[in-house]
């Protein structure tokens, strides 16, 4: 993930002070910016092409999805599958409705239903989402990723300071990099600190998996902070990371969430 580069501006200031800078110093800075902008454009076009193809496929599947009868023994699975299709298409209210139908048919699913919490968050029901993630904490009190979503929900509902006061406390370490990401939400770490915590000596699979989650949640936090450029940078990298689509259900689901947040930020 790129950072805003301040050195060229400092260098230009020093040149003006000493009147001894190379003639092409500004040109080099401009060239670097142009190259960076071109790289972003190419990567944005890659995501746009991917999204167009993916959306067409998902819409086709949703149109062909059979009607669901609550008396059918497979009704819960069908609601789950249809809700996933809807959320991947950004139809968050419809997904929330189908996830709730799952819980209505089988109430003991409620405590573990983190997907319902995410649908509530994006559907504009942050207080309900926060309550859903509270219930998930009673199901799994180690998963800091749940605490991250609870924080985001509380922040949307009650504001940043109140959300920080209500952050869940964890006694055990979770899988990396969630402890470090949680530190970002606590205000103890910067985005750079989170990325630096990822050991370069890890295997390619381990490194790309940790980079995915780090960049996803740096992006989500930056979006909540109103730091659009930082959010787009991070979510772009998360969306182009190949690992989550290969890793299976949970990572792939979160990949869609990052992709949708990225697309939302690109809208005027």
Residue 11, pLDDT above cutoff 70 = no
Residue 5, pLDDT above cutoff 80 = no
4: region left, alpha or beta (phi > 0 left; psi from -120 to 50 alpha): beta
- Structural contact between residues 80 and 96, judged by C-beta atoms closer than 8 angstroms: no
**Alpha helix segments (H runs only) across 106-203:** 114-122, 126-139, 144-158, 160-165, 178-186, 191-196
pLDDT, the chain, mean: 89
pTM equals: 0.85
Mean pLDDT of 47-65: 97
Q: How many CA atoms lie within 13 A of 129 on its CB side?
A: 27
Q: What does the alpha-carbon distance between residue 134 and residue 244 come to, in Å, rounded to a whole number? A: 26
Residue 10, pLDDT above cutoff 60 = no
């Amino acid at each position: 993930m790129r950072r805003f580069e301040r050195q060229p501006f400092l260098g230009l200031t020093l040149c003006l002070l000493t009147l001894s800078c190379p003639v092409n110093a500004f040109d080099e800075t401009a060239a670097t910016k142009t190259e960076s902008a071109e790289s972003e454009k190419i990567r944005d076009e890659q995501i746009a092409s991917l999204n167009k193809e993916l959306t067409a496929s998902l819409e086709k599947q949703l149109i062909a999805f059979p009607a669901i009868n609550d008396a059918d023994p497979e009704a819960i699975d069908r609601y789950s599958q249809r809700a996933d299709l809807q959320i991947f298409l950004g139809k968050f209210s419809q997904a929330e409705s189908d996830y709730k139908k799952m819980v209505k048919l089988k109430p003991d699913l409620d405590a573990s239903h983190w997907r319902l919490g995410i649908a509530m968050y994006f559907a504009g029901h942050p207080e309900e989402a926060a309550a859903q993630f509270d219930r998930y904490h009673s199901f799994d009190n180690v998963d800091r990723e749940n605490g991250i979503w609870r924080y985001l929900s509380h922040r949307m509902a009650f504001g940043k300071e109140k959300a920080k006061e209500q952050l869940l406390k964890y006694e055990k370490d979770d899988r990396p990099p969630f402890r470090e990401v949680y530190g970002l939400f606590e205000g103890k770490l910067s985005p750079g600190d989170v990325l630096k915590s990822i050991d370069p000596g890890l295997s390619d699979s381990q490194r790309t998996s940790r980079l995915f989650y780090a960049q996803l949640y740096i992006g989500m936090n930056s979006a909540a902070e109103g730091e659009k450029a930082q959010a787009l940078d991070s979510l772009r990298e998360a969306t182009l990371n190949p690992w989550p689509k290969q890793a299976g259900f949970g990572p792939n689901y979160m990949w869609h969430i990052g992709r949708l947040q990225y697309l939302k930020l690109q809208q005027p």
